[in-house]
Amino acid sequence: MKIAVFSTQPYDQVSLDQSNKHFNHEIVYHDTALSEKTASLASGIPVVCVFVNDQVNANVIHTIAANGTRLIALRCAGFNNVDLKAAEAAGITVCRVPAYSPNAISEYTLGLVICLERKIHKAWLRVREDNFALNGLVGNDLYGRTIGVVGTGKIGALVARAFRAGLGCEVLAQDVVENPDLVSIGVKYVSRDELLRRADVVCLHCPLTPHTQHLINADSLKTTRPGVVIVNSGRGSLVDSAALLDALESEHVGGAALDVYEKEKSLFFRDLSEKVISDDVFQRLTTLPNVILTGHQAWLSHEALDSIANITMTNVAQFEKNGGQVEKSHIVRAS
């Protein structure tokens, strides 16, 4: 099938081309994001392939449906950027990559926590300037501390297991469904309020829903322990960034490690080094010594890219072969 791939980065094209050797789809790459302004680029193309920050609202769906698109293939797990009701009304199937490399994100999360708690980011900058003084680099052990993990799906479960079984932490978890394997190694499921109240480090791995949007906010931060560390490698809008900034500046929050940001759509996945960034909250966060910000790269490993490409190409092949049917667990529908 012919596929229009939007928001293409060089690493996307390499992995998709490699996978496509087994499928022989016709791929048209666009480095621009899908939006109301660019939707016409998919004219006459039955499959549109998008990533996390592409705009797939009702107007976009109406345009691509009118121009012949029948499948939206997400090369990611999240789908909050897609108007599923509009897609259903237009007769467009939406599929995704439900799990491509939980290890990549869970390992990156641990790296963020260790880097922040042992001040590795600050030490690296000092050494580059031939400054080998250790004053100001005193960190904290993780052993014996309380780690809160919100969301224990495939990624969160790996994070909880690593902290509990690998680093000897007390781990509190919160999810609508308990994982018995985690319980068996001593992970304790508690309410979200109790988790926020007791945890030294809070790691966010839950999906973005109306119930979880801004779960870290001004009110919930007031209930946390002084010096708490907030870690988000899930969805940007799980955290009210302005409220987090206030709590960091007041020193109630002891640090933050963020790989996602609620207004990242206008920032991430591009080189803005020659531009003026007008997002004051983001800019102020980057100036704080106890904050690590990265550009949504926790998922970015060779293994994850290969998995994303292979599952995406397979979804398209199944859609073509089976008369519009894709593996049930990969289909996304309006609730």
- What the block records as the tokens of 31 is 């480095």
- The span from the CA of 96 to the CA of 72, in Å, is 8
Dihedral Cα 313, 315, 316, 321, nearest 10 deg: 120
> Running DSSP on this structure, what letter comes out for residue 44?
T
Q: Which are the catalytic amino acids?
A: 235, 264, 296
- The span from the CA of 283 to the CA of 44, in Å, is 41
Please, are residues 264 and 240 in contact by the beta-carbon 8 Å criterion?
no
- The span from the CA of 78 to the CA of 307, in Å, is 15
Nearest to 212 by CA among 299, 149, 293, 151: 151
CB atoms within 10 A of CB 85: 13
Given CA atoms 161, 259, 214, 55 in this order, what sign does their dihedral have? negative
3-state SS assignment for residue 73:
strand
